[in-house]
Each structure stands twice: as C-alpha cells, then as structure tokens.
C-alpha cells in the first residue's frame, strides 16, 4: 500500500480548512484515511499550521510520500528538517582491492616497456 501525506478538505463552502492526513494513495481526497497528522487553516492571517511532528516523522520514516503542499507545511512546522537530519547519507561503496591491483599491475609493465624501448 502506497501511503501519502496529503490534505483533506473540510469546512463550509468557500471557507476551507484542511486536515493533514496519512492516506492510501488510491483513496479519494476526502475519503478514507489512516491517521490525522495535523490541521491547516489558510484563511486566517497568519495561516494556522498545527502538525504533530512526531506522527509526521514516523510516517515519513515508514516511507509515506508528502504532496508538494504538505511538504511546504512540514518545512514550516520544522518536521521536514528533523526528518532530513535523521537520514544518514549513504557512504560510497568501496572499490574492490582486486580491481585496483590489476589496474596498477597493467600500468607498471607499460612504463617499463616504454623505458626499455628508449
């Protein structure tokens, strides 16, 4: 099951408020969801963003993909920075020693052969 963190529209006509939810990517926008992560109220000045960072980070670590809007809201709340800092960058794979030795061995006779010809 592909899980997304996305907005679910609530409120009256022309007066939207949104819930930030973890939902299956195949379920409809205002349909079934797994868990409520936070709320977003764009109509107030300044807009209201209340996100439970622990829940959001837990879902991101499980592999949930945020939509563009939700990712911007996660940056505002600070959850995205915490999640990004928690990731450990993958170290580059070390090259096998056998390949290094064979390339060095091939280069040495070439230099010796060039010296012998001169």
Which two three-digit tokens encode residue 10? 């609530």
Q: Give dist(CA 53, CA 50) in Å, integer.
A: 9
Residue 60 lies in a domain: yes
Count of domains forming the chain: 1
**Cα torsion angle, 69, 75, 78, 79, sign:** positive
At residue 49, φ and ψ (nearest 5 deg) are -130, 110
**Going residue by residue through the chain (118 aa), what tens digit of pLDDT does each one get?**
789 999 999 999 999 999 999 999 888 888 888 999 999 999 998 999 999 999 999 999 999 999 999 999 999 999 899 888 877 555 566 666 655 555 555 555 666 566 666 6
Report the alpha-carbon angle 98-101-105, nearest 5: 140
Judge whether 108 lies within some domain: no
Q: What is the pLDDT of residue 108?
A: 56
| Residue 18 within a domain | yes
- Has residue 116 been placed in a domain? no
Q: Quick one: pLDDT at residue 29?
A: 82
Whether 117 is covered by a domain: the verdict is no
Which range of residues forms the domain containing residue 73? 3-86
What CATH number does the domain containing 47 carry? Answer: 3.30.1320.10
Q: What is the pLDDT of residue 30?
A: 81
Give phi and psi for 108, each to the nearest 5. Answer: -65, -50
69 occurs within a structural domain: yes
Indicate the pTM of the whole model.
0.67
Classify residue 107: in a domain, yes or no.
no
92, part of any domain = no
Q: Which of 92, 66, 97, 98 is nearest to 79 (CA)?
A: 66
């Amino acid at each position: 099951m592909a899980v997304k963190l996305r907005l679910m529209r609530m409120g009256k006509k022309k007066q939207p408020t949104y819930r930030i939810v973890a939902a299956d990517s195949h379920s409809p926008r205002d349909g079934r969801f797994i868990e409520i992560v936070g709320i977003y109220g764009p109509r107030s000045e300044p807009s209201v963003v209340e996100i439970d960072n622990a829940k959001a980070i837990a879902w991101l670590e499980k592999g949930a993909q945020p939509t563009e809007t939700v990712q911007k809201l996660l940056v505002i709340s600070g959850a995205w920075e915490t999640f990004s800092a928690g990731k450990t960058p993958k170290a580059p794979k070390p090259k096998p020693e056998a390949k290094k030795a064979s390339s060095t061995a091939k280069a040495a006779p070439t230099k010796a052969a060039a010296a012998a010809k001169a």
